[in-house]
Structure 1
Amino acid sequence: MKRVLLLLCKGFEIYEAAAFYDVLGWSGAYGSEQVAVVTVGLRKEVQGSFGIRVIPDRLLSEAHPEDFEALAVPGGFETHGYYEEAYSEPVADLIRRFFAMEKPIASICVGALPLANSGILKGRQATTYHLLEGIRRKQLASFGAHVIDKPIVWDENVITSTSPATAMEVAFALLARITSKENSDQIRLKMGF
């Protein structure tokens, strides 16, 4: 069974986290390979965007990249405190450890910004939220990333995307990377996409 660590920072975007959880969960139920999603947070209870509260499976201090095939990073809302935890050193350290082990790291929307904050996107192609007059893309560039104007950008083992609208595609891409394209296509079909 493959295992994916789903990072839930304060203010995380519900839909983006759910896309990872759902697509990967469908693979466990209907795919050729089971995938378990393990949620992780900096606190015993994480308040996401719009007030949703989630109890993560593990605390960040208990998460070890060697136990997982990939890291999934949903974005979040600044107004709900996303960057308070997303830019923290424990989060940056976790991202760097996955990157050093050359494991897939998939982010959606502004989930690219904690990746960039960790230093792993310096000199790499990436994208992030494209609206709000490009403020998030300017932030991404300030971390040394080469911002590409595409909905989804892969650079070796790292995926970044532009908005919540890309969430399902990113989740399917991650599933294909850790299992197979055939499995991901089968799940896409069964889910009606």
Structure 2
Amino acid sequence: MKKILLLLADGFEAAEASVFTDVFGWNRWEGDGTTEVVTVGLREQIKCTWNFTIIPEKVVSDIDLEEFDALAIPGGFEEAGFYNDAFDERFLGVIRYFHARQKPIASICVASLALGKSGILQDRKATTYNDPTSHRLDQLSSFGVNVQNAPIVHDGHIITSSNPATGFDVAFLLLEQLTSLTNVNHVKELMGFAN
């Protein structure tokens, strides 16, 4: 069984997290059956961007990172306190651990800023929230990143994306890295996505 650590910061966007739980959940029950998602946060309760509270299965301080095969991180809103957790050293330490072992890392929207802050995107290609009214691309660039204005950027074992609409595509790319394209196409078909 391949275990995916779904790392949640306070203020994360629930829709961006749900693409990982749904895609990998569908794979576990209807696909090749080889994946399991574990939700993890810095505390026992986390408030989402839109003000509801979730209880992650595990707290970072209580897990053995060696048990996990991949890392997934949804983005969130500054106004909801996302960067308080996403830029916390405990959060960044998890990112660095997966990077040091070249395990797959997938982020959606502004979650790539946590990757940038951790230092793992130095001189790598990546993207983040790209609305013209936002300064997030410049912020990502300040971490020494070769910023790409593209919906999804896949550089080695790291996937970054530009907005919430890319969520399912990011989750399917991570599933492909952990299983196979044939399996991904099967899961997509079952979920009603056109191949």
TM-score w.r.t. the length of structure 2 is 0.97
- Structure 1: state its 5+ residue gaps: none
| Equivalent AA in structure 2 for residue 31 of structure 1 | G
- What percent of counterpart residues are identical? 48
> 2 CA distance for matches of 1:63 and 1:157?
22
Instruction: Spell out structure 1 runs of 4+ moving beyond 3 A.
Output: none
Checking the alignment, whether the CA contact within 8 Å between 1:10 and 1:48 is kept in structure 2 is yes
* Two-structure CA RMSD over aligned residues (Å): 0.9
Shift of 1:64: 2.6
DSSP-derived class of the 2:37 partner: strand
Q: Residue 107 of structure 1 aligns to which amino acid in structure 2?
A: S
* SS at structure 2 position matched to 1:51: coil
| Alpha-carbon offset, residue 57 of structure 1 | 0.7
User: Structure 2: how far apart are the matches of 1:138 and 1:62?
Assistant: 35
What CA distance in whole angstroms lies between the structure 2 residues aligned with 1:49 and 1:133? 20
Structure having the higher helix fraction is: 1
User: Which residue type is aligned with residue 13 of structure 2?
Assistant: E
Aligned-partner SS, 2:133: helix
**Correspondence for 1:89:** 89
How many Å apart are 1:179 and its aligned residue?
A: 1.0
Matches for 1:150-169 after TM superposition, within 5 Å: 150-169=150-169
| Aligned position for 1:104 | 104
- State the 1:35 CA deviation: 1.0
1:33–1:179 contact (8 Å) kept in structure 2? no
Say whether 1:40 aligns with 2:17. Answer: no
- Look up the equivalent residue of 1:7 and give its one-letter code: L
- Once residues 64 and 146 of structure 2 are traced to their aligned partners in structure 1, the CA distance between those partners, rounded to angstroms, is 29
Q: Which residue of 2 aligns with 1:127?
A: 127
Q: Which amino acid aligns with 1:59?
A: V
Q: Provide structure 2 residue ranges, at least 5 long, that are not aligned to the other structure.
A: none
The separation in 2 between residues aligned to 1:9 and 1:33, in whole angstroms, is 28
* Cα deviation, residue 108, structure 1: 0.3
1:69 aligns with 2:64: no
- What's the counterpart of residue 136 of structure 1? 136
Specify the alignment match of 2:145 in structure 1: 145
